Amino acid sequence: MSTSRHRRWRRKIGPVSRWLPAFARLSTVFLLIALALFVALRVAAPYLISTGFVRSGIEDALSKWTGYHAEIKGSPVLEFWPTPRITLNQITIRQPRESGDKLLGSIESLSADFSLIDALRGRTSFHEFHLVRPNLALTRDEKGLIDWSYAGLLARAISGVRYENGAEMLDPDLDAEIGAVTVEDGTLVVTDIKTAKTYHFDSVTADIAWPRLSGAISAVVIARINGEDLKVDFASRQPLLAFAGRNAETRTSLTSNLLTAHFQGIASIASLSAFSGNATVTIPDVPALLTWSGKSVPGIATLKSASLESDIMSSGNGLRFNNLSLSLNEASATGVMDLFTQPGKRPKIGGTLAFDQMNLKPFLDAFALRLAAGEAEDISTGMSGPLQVLDVDVRLSARRAQMGLFELSDVGASMIVAGGEAKFDIGDSQFEGGEMTAHLEATQRDFDGGGKLQLSIRNADFAALAERLQLKGPLPLATGSLDLDLQSPKAIWTTGLADVTGRLHFWTGEGTIPGIDAAALRTQAAEKPFFPLSAAAGGVFAFNQLNLQADFANGSAEMHDARIAGATQTLTLSGVITYQSNGLALSGSLDATDPAKAAELPLLPFFIGGSWPNPVISPVPLFGNTPQAQ
């Protein structure tokens, strides 16, 4: 059986061994002929193909593609090894003079591979373009579209592209091969007619792969703007639709030291009508980004970093951000946001955000929506600031929130900007064991009209608050309530203490004032014409009730009949406190809480002057009958 198997293998291998040498010889002959033909063409090409023929061919190609007239001033250089390639210098591309003589740009050097066979047949075709130091100028029109060219093949392809059955369609007579395009050390100037701004991109380097007009494109572009390098990675299976401002599948990434952004989905450079996909944005240094962009927001230094990730889709006349994850500094939130845009109306941002923990100050800074004082356009010039062009209606919730040294829990808040006014409300929160509500409002002219603050605290532990704020001096330590109403006619970020006016009402139940000994106060007043408060600071003044009201104006607070009623004695105060210098000018009195004990605890009037926390007390002599004797 083994012998028969070997015989079968010999029968199969035998024919192969006979024809294999013949095939090898034939292949070798064809290979040598091809190699000889290749070498012969390379050697003979300089004598068969003229430089002027290839030069005129690439001039015609550039003119055909752009619709402009290409002019080449430098002498062309032809190379035939390892591939046929032409290099042209000093190229300008401009509109024909009879059509306006508009300059599209100039190119210091342009190289391109060309087909040797086509050139020998009297035709030219080019691919693998390399541009050195091109200087191009483009215009973005009122519709948000780029004026790519005048009337060339690219413009006709962009205007003639169709969308059918989920794909980009282009008529064969508008299609053409492109290949790879490399740009080195270029300059691009984009003039935006709609915004009347001009953008300059320097040191442009690009690698573009676009085999055919009807095919997919991928491009990596690195450019410098305002001294910062930006890298853009763009890819699309429907590039002509994208360049035409229509909806197209795209993948775009922007990378720099100041900003990283990524989008994948369907988008349009001219409209938000069918925008959908996923987007991520990361800003590691918000103040640095604003400085680079030439903008400034007051107080923004507290907002160090920000990031956003969301599914985005068009919704009516705007965009919806679903599954939104937002981070501001160390605070993270999830929620849903909407951007509404309607013709003739201001865009509006609305939605809800839920934080586990947040810092309210940088969040307010992020929504300040105003240039810093001195950098804003004067209202008389007719320029509208952010409050005139954007409305905001955002609802916030947080399990824990911090506002400077204050800590809140279970916060429900809202931010509303509309009609030239901005309002921030804390509708509900837990504060120092009690409850707090607040209303901050900035009015008119992008906050230039001033603002007001209304604060209401109920049943909070002010002893814990004083310890948290590290306040010094004899202060009432008790559970109490406070109403505060302040306003300023100046812009919020320029308001000083002297610009604030308003009213305060503070009342508590039982509590103590450390650093005040009523008995020592009477003893010192009987012995000395004046003495420091520290001389009577050996005890604690216990009280059953405190009620205080004050008005604020011109950098001072005017106290009206503050009454601190203890079990046996009552302390009353009125006068002026200059809080910019901690100066005091108060009249006070200490008398018996129970009128029946007036003889035992007679009225002691005094004057308090100097500065907090250790002012000087001067007893005031009584002339004639005391108030109790009247």
Confidence check: pLDDT of 117 > 80: no
Give me Rg for the CA atoms of the chain.
40
Three-state DSSP state, 100: coil
* Per-residue CA distances from 582 to 347, 506, 556, 557, 609 (Å): 46, 19, 9, 11, 10
Cα(460)–Cα(438) distance, integer angstroms: 14
H runs (alpha helix) in 94-191: 116-120, 153-160
Instruction: Compare 604 and 111 and report the one with higher pLDDT.
Output: 604
Over the chain, what is the mean pLDDT?
80
Which sequence spans correspond to the domains of the chain? 480-619
Confidence check: pLDDT of 45 > 60: no
Exposure of 195 in the CB half-sphere (CA atoms within 13 A): 9
Instruction: Compare 473 and 616 and report the one with higher pLDDT.
Output: 616
What confidence score (pLDDT) does residue 580 get? 75
What confidence score (pLDDT) does residue 360 get? 75
Long-range contacts of 129-132 (CB under 8 A, 24+ apart): 129/179, 129/180, 129/181, 129/182, 130/181, 130/182, 130/184, 131/107, 131/181, 131/182, 131/183, 131/184, 131/186, 132/107, 132/108, 132/184, 132/185
Instruction: Compare 486 and 376 and report the one with higher pLDDT.
Output: 486
What confidence score (pLDDT) does residue 362 get? 60
In terms of Cα–Cα distance, which of 413, 412, 423, 419 is closest to 452?
Answer: 423
Q: What distance lies between CA 561 and its chain's CA centroid?
A: 50
Considering only 196-205, 454-463, 482-491, which range has the smallest mean pLDDT?
A: 482-491
What confidence score (pLDDT) does residue 626 get? 43
Mean per-residue pLDDT, 49-57? 64
Percent of the chain with pLDDT over 70: 77
- Give the total residue count for the chain: 630
Per-residue tokens: 240: 């002509």
71, β-bridge pairs:
92
CB distance 276 to 293 below 8 Å: no
What confidence score (pLDDT) does residue 494 get? 61
In terms of Cα–Cα distance, which of 492, 346, 372 is closest to 424?
Answer: 492
Per-residue tokens: 172: 């064969």
Dump pLDDT digits (tens) for 420-462: 677 889 888 999 999 999 988 876 554 455 678 899 999 999 9
Confidence check: pLDDT of 233 > 50: yes
Per-residue tokens: 249: 């599948």
Per-residue tokens: 10: 């010999």
What confidence score (pLDDT) does residue 54 get? 65
Prediction pTM value: 0.70
Instruction: Compare 162 and 66 and report the one with higher pLDDT.
Output: 162
Cα(531)–Cα(539) distance, integer angstroms: 16
The number of helices, as runs of H, and strands, as runs of E, in the chain is 10, 33
Dump pLDDT digits (tens) for 493-531: 566 667 788 999 999 999 999 999 999 999 999 999 999
Q: Give 37's DSSP letter.
A: H
Confidence check: pLDDT of 303 > 80: no
CB distance 490 to 298 below 8 Å: no
Confidence check: pLDDT of 9 > 50: no
